[in-house]
Amino acid sequence: MELINFSRNSVSTKEELRELIGEPHELVIKKSVSILDDQCKRFISMSPLLFLSTSDAEGKCDVSPRGDQAGSVIILNKHQLVIPDRPGNKRQDSNLNILSNPHVGLIFIIPGLEEVLRINGRAMLIKDKEILNKMALKGNIPLLGIGVDVEECFVHCSRPLKESNIWKPETWQTPETLPSASEIFHAHLKINGVELKKES
């Protein structure tokens, strides 16, 4: 299939974008705050899932889901929070990006709630034992934490989650129709020239 040249019919300037979409309402602009107020703190404390968006120095982006017990993200003060970096597959995509570009975006999700909390700021990998000890899980203390200096917080409207019906089990696909993570994993290995033998 021939690749499509997106640039042939693209929006390339801020002026063109605004002419097409229009300007946001004043309230949409002013809902953004630069501190973790009591409402943000409460939301974060009840969220067991967040998405961490990073990019490297060249602007190549990555988004990583971070699932944990609600309350695992530590709020230090009105301007700083820390995300525990639990053991994983050691790719370290997010952390390597943070080392070259500190700008991060976070989305916090609470099951059953259709609004999400968005936070933007600057991150740093920390080894502060006093903080890390507070994030122990089942006796295991994380080796690293992702400390975030918060620059912007705001609640995002419910439309995406509402329209997706994400919290309505009756709309979910049946388990047997869902993509198999194992099949995807093996297929992608094969594309890269690695084929694992199936166990007999």
The residue extents of the domains of the chain are 26-164
Residues 8-22, mean pLDDT to the nearest whole number: 95
26-164 has which fold? Pnp Oxidase; Chain A (2.30.110)
User: What was the pLDDT predicted at 100?
Assistant: 97
User: pLDDT tens across 36-50, in order?
Assistant: 999 999 999 999 999
Return d(Cα 150, Cα 25) in angstroms, integer.
Answer: 24
Residues 6 or more apart from 116 whose CB is under 8 A from it?
A: 107, 108, 109, 155, 156, 161
User: What was the pLDDT predicted at 196?
Assistant: 84
Is the model's pLDDT at 200 over the cut of 60?
no
Question: 111-135 burial string, b = 16+ CB within 10 Å, else e?
Answer: eeebbbbbbbbebebeeeeebbeeb
Is the model's pLDDT at 65 over the cut of 90?
yes
**CB atoms near residue 35 (< 10 Å):** 13
Residues 169-174, mean pLDDT to the nearest whole number: 94
Question: 151-181 burial string, b = 16+ CB within 10 Å, else e?
Answer: eebbeeeeeebeeeeeeeeeeeeeeeeeeee
* Mean pLDDT of the residues in the chain: 95
SS3 85: strand
Confidence at 195, pLDDT banded by 50, 70, 90 = confident
Residues 129-142, mean pLDDT to the nearest whole number: 94
Which H or E element spans position 126? strand 116-126
Residues 73-99, mean pLDDT to the nearest whole number: 96
User: What was the pLDDT predicted at 7?
Assistant: 92
Is the model's pLDDT at 197 over the cut of 90?
no
